[in-house]
C-alpha cells in the first residue's frame, strides 16, 4: 500500500492541477482583454449575473473607471456567495442557487429596469456566468416564484441535463431566451460569457438572456413529459401560450448585439494539460463535452484507466483528463453531487487498484449540495480508499444506491473543499495513473 507521505504528495498534485484549471477560467485571467472600449458618449450599463458576477463586475468597473467618470457607469451584480466587498458604486445582490429565491427575482427585475432605461447612445455590457439562470429569475405573468422554484427542484432531481433545464426556464421567464436583449434595444449590447454548458452554446449559458433561442414551447413541454414531471396549471397554461415563445435569430433586436465566450471548460483542461506535461506526466485529454449519468461515466473511465495502466512500458505517469457535465438521477435520500457520485462509482469500479488516484470536482466550488459556501466541490479517490472504507464497514455500493456519496467521502475525509471559486466551467476530472 502507498505510504501516507506518498498519498499526501498525490493529494497535493491532484488539488494543484484542479486549481490550475480553475484559475484559467477565472475572470482575472480572461475578462480584461475582451471588454469593449467606452463609447464617446452615453452611459455604460454593466449587468452581471452568475457565480463569477462579482469578480466580473469588479474588473469591468476598474477598466471603465480608467476611461470615463464614474457618473457614466451604472449597473448591478447578482451573485451567489460573493464577499461583502464593495463593488465600487455598483449595486449588488446575493441570491439563491440552484433554486431561485426572492433575491433572484428582485435582482432580475432590477436588471430589466436598468436595461429598459438604456438609450440609443448607451452601451450595455452583460457579464454572465454559470448560475445566472437561477440568480436572474423573473417569472412570466401568471407564474409565481413558488411555481418556478418547484419546477426547478423537480428538473434537478429528474436527471435532466442543463440544456433541457434551461429550455424550460427560458419559456417561463421575462429575462431569458433573448428577452433581455429585447429590453436593451436599441442600445448597443455586448455580452461576455463564461460558459458552463457542454458545447458552449450562448443560448444555453444563463438560459440565453441576450441570445436568440432555437428551442420552442413544444420542446419545453416535451422535456417535462419525458421526465414525468407534473406541473401546476399555471405552468401548463404558460407553456401552451404562443405569446411566451422565445426570440429567434431573425428578430431585429439582435442587430446591434454580440455575444463572446471568454472562458470555457476546454480552456481549463488545456491549462491543466500544459501543467502536467511540464511536470513530465503524459496526458490523455478526453475533452470537455462528456455527458451522462455520473456512475456510468465513472465505470467507463475506470476501464480506460486500467487499460492505460496495462499498456505502460515506462515509469512515466499518465493523466486522464475530462470535463463536461454529468448528471444524477436521484433515487436515494443521501447527499452529494455529480462529481462526488462519479468519484464513488470510480472507487467501486477500481476496487483499490494500485497506482490509480483521481479527483472529480465542479469548477465553481460547489458540487450539488444546498447551495452553501461550505458545500464540497467534489471528492478524491486513492488506491487506499476501498480498503479504508471496508475497514470502517462502509459499503461503497450501498452508499451509491442511496446517492450518498457526500457522506461516504466525508467519513473518509476525502471531500474536496475549495469554497466559492468565482467562476464556473463545469466539471473537472483528473485520473492519475502510475505503473502497477
Chain segment 287-296, per-residue pLDDT in tens: 999 999 999 9
Q: Cβ(190)–Cβ(258) under 8 Å?
A: yes
- The pLDDT assigned to 346 comes to 98
Q: Cβ(189)–Cβ(258) under 8 Å?
A: yes
What is the 3-state secondary structure of 137-190? Answer: CCECCCCCHHHHHHHHHHHHHHCCCHHHHHHHHHCCECCCCCHHHHHHCCCEEE
Lowest mean pLDDT among 27-41, 75-89, 310-324, 396-410: 75-89
Rg (CA), the chain: 22
Average pLDDT over residues 425-431: 97
Looking at 204, 228, 263, the residue that finishes a domain is: 263
Helix axes 265-278, 4-24, angle to 10 degrees: 140
C-alpha pair distances (Å), 203 with each of 31, 164, 178, 193, 431: 20, 12, 8, 11, 32
348: domain CATH number is 3.40.1480.10
Average pLDDT over residues 304-319: 96
Kindly state whether residues 252 and 296 are assigned to the same domain.
no
Instruction: Give dist(CA 327, CA 341) in Å, integer.
Output: 9
For residue 362, the surrounding DSSP H or E stretch is strand 356-362
C-alpha pair distances (Å), 64 with each of 72, 75, 261: 9, 12, 20
132-162 residue pLDDT tens: 999 999 999 999 999 999 999 999 888 888 8
Residues 6+ apart with CB under 8 A from 401: 331, 332
Kindly state whether residues 178 and 320 are assigned to the same domain.
no
Comparing C-alpha atoms, which of 259, 246, 429 is closest to residue 342?
429
- How many domains are contained in the chain? 2
- The pLDDT assigned to 82 comes to 63
Kindly state whether residues 311 and 334 are assigned to the same domain.
yes
Question: Alpha helix (H) ranges present in 312-395?
Answer: 338-350, 385-391
Query: Residue 118 is placed in which grid cell?
Result: 438604456
Terminal alpha carbon distance of the chain: 11
Q: Cβ(104)–Cβ(112) under 8 Å?
A: no
Instruction: Give dist(CA 322, CA 384) in Å, integer.
Output: 23
Instruction: Give dist(CA 18, CA 21) in Å, integer.
Output: 5
215: domain CATH number is 3.40.50.10180
Average pLDDT over residues 124-139: 95
CA angle 246–250–256, rounded 5-degree value: 95
**Res 187 pLDDT > 80:** yes
Q: Could you tell me the pTM of the whole model?
A: 0.92
Kindly state whether residues 9 and 99 are assigned to the same domain.
no
pLDDT-derived band at 436 (thresholds 50, 70, 90) equals: confident
Looking at 210, 242, 263, the residue that finishes a domain is: 263
Kindly state whether residues 339 and 415 are assigned to the same domain.
yes
Comparing C-alpha atoms, which of 146, 147, 149 is closest to residue 134?
149
Instruction: Give dist(CA 19, CA 115) in Å, integer.
Output: 35
Q: Cβ(118)–Cβ(180) under 8 Å?
A: no
Residues 6+ apart with CB under 8 A from 41: 121
Kindly state whether residues 192 and 275 are assigned to the same domain.
no
235-248 residue pLDDT tens: 999 999 999 999 99
Looking at 221, 243, 263, the residue that finishes a domain is: 263
- The pLDDT assigned to 84 comes to 62
Query: Residue 371 is placed in which grid cell?
Result: 447551495
- The pLDDT assigned to 125 comes to 98
Comparing C-alpha atoms, which of 332, 406, 395 is closest to residue 368?
406
Instruction: Give dist(CA 98, CA 92) in Å, integer.
Output: 18
Comparing C-alpha atoms, which of 11, 20, 97 is closest to residue 375?
97
252-265 residue pLDDT tens: 999 999 999 999 99
**Res 120 pLDDT > 50:** yes
Kindly state whether residues 91 and 160 are assigned to the same domain.
yes
Kindly state whether residues 286 and 389 are assigned to the same domain.
yes
Please give the mean pLDDT across all residues of the chain.
Answer: 95
Instruction: Give dist(CA 356, CA 396) in Å, integer.
Output: 17
Kindly state whether residues 284 and 185 are assigned to the same domain.
no
Which residue range(s) make up the domain with 297?
4-24+266-433
Query: Residue 51: helix, strand or coil by DSSP?
Result: coil
Kindly state whether residues 60 and 130 are assigned to the same domain.
yes
Kindly state whether residues 225 and 97 are assigned to the same domain.
yes
- The pLDDT assigned to 46 comes to 98
Amino acid at each position: 500500500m502507498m505510504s501516507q507521505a506518498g498519498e499526501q504528495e498525490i493529494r497535493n498534485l491532484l488539488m494543484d492541477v484542479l486549481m490550475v484549471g480553475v484559475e484559467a477560467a477565472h475572470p482575472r485571467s480572461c475578462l480584461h482583454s475582451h471588454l469593449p472600449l467606452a463609447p464617446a458618449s452615453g452611459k455604460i450599463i454593466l449587468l452581471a449575473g452568475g457565480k463569477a458576477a462579482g469578480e466580473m463586475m469588479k474588473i469591468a468597473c476598474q477598466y471603465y473607471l480608467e476611461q470615463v467618470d464614474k457618473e457614466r457607469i451604472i449597473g448591478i451584480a447578482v451573485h451567489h456567495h460573493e464577499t461583502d466587498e464593495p463593488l465600487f458604486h455598483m449595486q449588488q445582490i446575493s441570491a439563491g442557487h440552484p433554486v431561485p429565491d426572492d433575491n433572484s427575482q428582485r435582482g432580475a427585475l432590477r436588471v430589466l429596469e436598468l436595461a429598459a432605461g438604456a438609450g440609443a447612445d448607451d452601451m450595455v455590457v452583460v457579464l454572465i456566468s454559470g448560475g445566472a439562470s437561477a440568480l436572474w429569475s423573473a417569472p412570466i405573468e401568471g407564474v409565481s416564484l413558488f411555481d418556478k422554484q418547484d419546477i426547478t427542484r423537480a428538473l434537478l432531481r429528474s436527471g435532466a441535463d442543463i440544456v433541457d433545464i434551461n429550455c424550460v426556464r427560458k419559456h417561463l421567464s421575462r429575462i431569458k431566451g433573448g428577452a433581455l436583449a429585447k429590453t436593451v434595444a436599441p442600445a448597443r449590447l455586448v455580452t461576455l460569457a463564461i460558459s458552463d454548458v457542454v458545447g458552449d452554446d450562448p443560448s444555453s449559458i444563463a438560459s440565453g438572456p441576450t441570445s436568440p433561442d432555437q428551442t420552442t414551447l413544444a420542446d419545453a413541454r416535451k422535456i417535462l413529459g419525458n421526465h414525468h414531471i407534473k406541473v401546476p396549471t399555471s405552468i401548463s397554461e404558460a407553456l401552451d401560450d404562443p405569446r411566451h415563445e422565445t426570440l429567434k435569430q431573425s428578430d431585429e433586436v439582435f442587430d446591434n448585439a454580440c455575444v463572446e465566450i471568454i472562458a470555457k471548460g476546454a480552456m481549463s483542461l488545456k491549462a491543466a494539460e500544459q501543467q502536467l506535461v511540464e511536470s513530465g506526466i503524459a496526458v490523455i485529454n478526453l475533452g470537455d463535452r462528456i455527458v451522462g449519468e455520473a456512475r456510468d461515466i465513472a465505470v467507463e473511465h475506470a476501464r480506460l484507466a486500467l487499460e492505460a495502466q496495462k499498456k505502460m512500458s515506462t515509469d512515466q505517469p499518465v493523466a486522464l483528463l475530462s470535463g463536461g457535465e454529468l448528471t444524477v438521477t436521484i433515487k436515494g435520500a443521501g447527499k452529494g453531487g455529480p462529481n462526488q457520485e462519479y468519484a464513488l462509482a470510480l472507487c467501486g469500479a477500481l476496487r483499490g487498484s494500485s497506482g490509480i488516484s483521481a479527483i472529480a470536482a465542479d469548477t465553481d466550488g460547489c458540487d450539488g449540495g444546498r447551495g452553501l459556501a461550505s458545500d464540497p466541490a467534489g471528492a478524491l479517490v486513492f488506491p487506499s480508499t476501498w480498503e479504508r472504507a471496508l475497514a470502517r464497514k462502509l459499503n461503497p455500493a450501498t452508499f451509491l444506491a442511496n446517492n450518498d456519496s457526500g457522506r461516504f467521502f466525508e467519513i473518509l475525509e476525502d471531500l474536496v473543499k475549495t469554497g466559492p471559486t468565482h467562476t464556473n466551467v463545469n466539471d473537472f476530472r483528473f485520473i492519475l495513473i502510475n505503473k502497477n
